[in-house]
Structure 1
Amino acid sequence: MEWQRRVPPIRGLMALRAVSEAGTFTGAARYLGWNQPNVSKHLQALETALDAKLLHREHSGNKLTEAGERVLEHATAITDSYAALVRELERMRAAETGRLRIAASLTIGDHWLPQVLMQFGEMHPHIAVESRVLYGREGLRQAAQGLADVALVEGDPGESGLTAQKVGEDMLMVACGQDHPWAAKGSLTLEEFTQGRYILRERGSGTRDTLDHYLEEANLPPMQPELEVGSNHAILQMLKNGEHLTVLSSLTLQDAQHSGFLVLLPVRGLNLKRAFWAVRAPQARSLPAADTFIDFLRNNPPNQELTPATGPTETAQPT
């Protein structure tokens, strides 16, 4: 770039544009919030800097010279660009401040959100986050009613009418205790999967709704669990007696598998991967802090370090 030694006369460019749009110096002063002598002073300074007559003052009005017409084109572009710069910087400042209300489903809220909030708070200390963990799809309802700015939900948010962005994923996994008769199988066939004795989450939970949806898509009958329990922790404890299987999120199963009492059993021919979605409330669609939070989620997906049991034909083939 060829740098000019003279300071760009931005106020003169503003004065020229304002006079052109208002038609008079009085109107231009009103547009700019200046007094009329200042409009004249900055316009004269612009003419001096450019060594060109830009405006003819006539009784019938002010008329731009040929040079003035050309300068006005650049003045419009420069002042528009500066206004856009100011708006962008204001948005950047807003993206690092404010208050954000988050509603999360149980699996996300218990197993991913705590780590996210700790890291997010360190990187964006001026955004105050208020989070709550809710049952099933309650977060969607709260977002729709304006009670939460962003809802984090498992599986397809469906026809909620809200703006949704994918921010991560997990996988539903079949698991059993190490004393279960199938613990050494390494994997299950579809027939075995449908014939097992299960303890599952209750209907209406995000995990159960996702499981029922996948079974329907795979033309498999709905599962008939022997027990339905509203607590992931309680289900994991009940698996220790070795009699039942469960289907839970890979995030829920991490700690239990690492502790050594849990075995994972992939199902051959069935893909149980699901997406996590950030759903914006209508009032949060232009909320800069929400943009910052959702971008952070997408750059910090859930950590899933699971090792399915080794054994014959352990690789699940997606449907």
Structure 2
Amino acid sequence: MALNFHQLHIFYTVADKGSFSAAAVALHMTQPAVTMQVQSLEDYFGTKLFQRSTKRIELTEAGRTLLPYAKQSIDLIRETDAAMSKFTSQLKGRLQLGASLTIGEYILPRLLGSFGQEYPHISISMKVMNTTQIMDEIFSHHLNFGLIEAPVSHPDLHIEPVMNDELVLIAHRGHPLASRESVLLEEAMSYPLVLREQGSGTRQVMEDQLRRKNLDPDKLNIVMELGSTGAVKSAVEAGLGMSIVSLSSIKHEVALELINVVPLSDVTFSREFFSIYLKSALLPISAVTFLTFLRERDLKQWL
């Protein structure tokens, strides 16, 4: 019997999760299958890797010795996939990802066209949903990875910034501030506002910046909260109030002179978009290729 990477990956996941059952869930395997692979690895080395009891498992001295090598092997496979992904123009496969609203509605459709030209044999399935839904889909193994607008913290997720975005203040063309060369943030925030709902990535970035400028988000004159950027833009076009949205989401409306961007003189709103996927997962080469595409290309033309 030869040592194989699959067994090392399973061993590392069991050690990381602290139980065979948790590792089985993370690996999308049955618990007996996980146990069998670990036993095969123990047979190969001729020693026990875990001390098993009814309540918990612990690494043996041999297991503790093997653990860093198993991690190195996982890291090396991931690095190998990333390095080779740029040469896989004939790659075939299915890319399944989730994207939060701004990314999925306004950014990915632009860059997926270019990606599809370079990798025409990769079919793409994208779900546009909020961050919580994306995480649920990843944990249930329905999605390989997701792209989200605000950072999250979870011990089982790998989180990596992949692109930058700018938020801008927008107003109806007839708004008192619409033709100003610049305004102060405090003055702009005194006018009626139409905003995304609480918890959205856009709203979070805006409120964080307000607090840094010693402005209380709870004192804003919010006349309407809406669940999508498209609805916010429509409300601004109708003259219901100003808003702060992603610059990438308003190119069409600005070109048609439906709304104006109002420059702020004392603040900029910038943020990062993040990729998230399970730490225990080895992404399919189609997903690795797409993430490499995001990391290594100049994405400004699509933002």
Give the TM-score of the pair, scaled to structure 1: 0.61
Change (3 A) 1:93 1:247: closer
Deviation at 1:179, TM superposition (A): 0.4
Instruction: Confirm whether residue 248 of structure 1 aligns to residue 245 of structure 2.
Output: yes
Aligned to 2:293: 296
Checking the alignment, whether the CA contact within 8 Å between 2:190 and 2:221 is kept in structure 1 is no
Aligned to 1:257: 254
Deviation at 1:236, TM superposition (A): 1.9
1:236 to 225, 233, 237: 233
The amino acid that maps onto 2:159 is A
1:1-319 matched pairs, under 5 angstroms? 96-159=91-154, 161-222=156-217, 223-282=220-279, 284-298=281-295, 299-303=297-301
Secondary structure class of the residue paired with 1:180 = coil
Checking the alignment, whether the CA contact within 8 Å between 2:171 and 2:242 is kept in structure 1 is yes
Aligned to 2:31: none
Gaps (5+ residues) in structure 1?
A: 1-83, 306-319
Deviation at 1:136, TM superposition (A): 4.2
C-alpha separation in 2, matches of 1:280 and 1:181: 45
Percentage of pairs with the same residue: 27
Secondary structure class of the residue paired with 2:250 = helix
C-alpha separation in 1, matches of 2:223 and 2:255: 26
Change (3 A) 1:165 1:96: farther
Higher Cα Rg: structure 1 or 2?
1
Checking the alignment, whether the CA contact within 8 Å between 1:179 and 1:241 is kept in structure 2 is no
Checking the alignment, whether the CA contact within 8 Å between 2:194 and 2:222 is kept in structure 1 is yes
Deviation at 1:178, TM superposition (A): 0.9
Deviation at 1:224, TM superposition (A): 4.2
Change (3 A) 1:198 1:116: same
Checking the alignment, whether the CA contact within 8 Å between 1:190 and 1:270 is kept in structure 2 is yes
C-alpha separation in 1, matches of 2:291 and 2:302: 20
The amino acid that maps onto 2:183 is L
Task: Please list the CA deviations of residues 212-235 of structure 1 after superposition, one character each: whole Å capped at 9, or x if unmatched.
Answer: 233234432113411111232232
Gaps (5+ residues) in structure 2?
A: 1-76
Deviation at 1:287, TM superposition (A): 2.9
Give the TM-score of the pair, scaled to structure 2: 0.64
Superposed CA RMSD in Å reads 2.8
Number of aligned residue pairs: give it: 220
Change (3 A) 1:145 1:209: farther
C-alpha separation in 2, matches of 1:253 and 1:193: 19
Aligned to 2:3: none
C-alpha separation in 2, matches of 1:243 and 1:128: 41
C-alpha separation in 2, matches of 1:143 and 1:130: 14
C-alpha separation in 1, matches of 2:240 and 2:89: 54
C-alpha separation in 1, matches of 2:238 and 2:263: 21
Checking the alignment, whether the CA contact within 8 Å between 2:157 and 2:278 is kept in structure 1 is yes
The amino acid that maps onto 2:301 is N
Deviation at 1:294, TM superposition (A): 0.6
C-alpha separation in 2, matches of 1:174 and 1:227: 16
Secondary structure class of the residue paired with 1:247 = strand
Checking the alignment, whether the CA contact within 8 Å between 2:111 and 2:302 is kept in structure 1 is no
Checking the alignment, whether the CA contact within 8 Å between 1:148 and 1:281 is kept in structure 2 is no
Deviation at 1:94, TM superposition (A): 11
Deviation at 1:249, TM superposition (A): 0.8
